[in-house]
Homo-oligomer: A and B are copies of this chain.
Amino acid sequence: MQSLPLSNVLSLSNAQIAIEAAATLAFAISGLIEAARKRLDAVGVVMVAGLAAFGGGTLRDVLLDRRPFFWVEHAGWLWLLLALCVAAMLFLRDRHFALTEHAMQWPDALGLGLFTATGTQIALDASMPPIVAVLMGMMTAVFGGVLRDIVCNEIPRAFSDHQPYAICSFAGAWVIVGVDALQAPDWVGLTAGAAVAILLRLGALHTGWKLPAWRSGD
């Protein structure tokens, strides 16, 4: 199955493709804004946006020894990314950042759920043990942002901001692994897992729930 495009493997409908496109866009924009905040140049903006959008899935595929990458099979996305960055450099200004980030919370949460679902399923198809499949799902969803922050010389936000993000992905991935163990059709697990991750993330944003902090004291 390794040479089929992602959309075939998962029998994505048009609606799903639209959501996945929105999610990739949200991830790319997170990279773009971080690059702009750090005053990177045009090359840096494109690179960091690309890392944020495609870094997680690429790292997963390198670890699973899986080719071709999504952005090799569908190279059109790289053109889209270039166009997005050029448009952003022309029209996006500092005063738009807060607004843009707020508007991106929904597609970002969708992306978290969808990339968790596809990443976990791909790892299960490659016969990975359950906890490894969960880790791969999380990595797909979260490590684009981690690589973005490392290149921008920051401690990854996903590891340090005490807001539930990777943990929502973690929960959703376990749902997929559980449904898979019950031998239900793939789409049941994918839908349920993505839904759990997305709802947890939106719930966390809404309630301001915090991850437990390290208690430094006695």
Contacts and interface: CB of A to CB of B under 8 A. Distances in A.
B132 A211 contact: no
Contact of A44 (B63, B132, B159): B159
Interface residues on A, range: 35 or more
Interface stretch (A16-24, A88-96, A112-120, A185-193): A88-96
A63 B65 contact: no
Interface in A133-170: 135, 146, 150-156, 158-162, 165-167
A185 to B, nearest CB: 25
A95 B62 CA distance: 40
Contacts of A67: 65
Given A71-B132, A78-B131, A132-B71, A94 B151 contact: no
Nearest to A211: B41
A177 interface: no
B72 A132 contact: yes
Contacts of A154: 153
A174 interface: no
Interface stretch (A7-15, A32-40, A198-206): A32-40
8 contacts: A38-B155, A41-B162, A41-B212, A42-B212, A43-B159, A43-B166, A44-B160, A93-B216
Given A75-B131, A78-B131, A153-B154, 17 more contacts: A39-B213, A40-B155, A41-B161, A41-B214, A42-B167, A42-B212, A43-B165, A43-B211, A44-B155, A62-B63, A65-B65, A65-B67, A75-B129, A89-B212, A94-B216, A151-B159, A153-B155
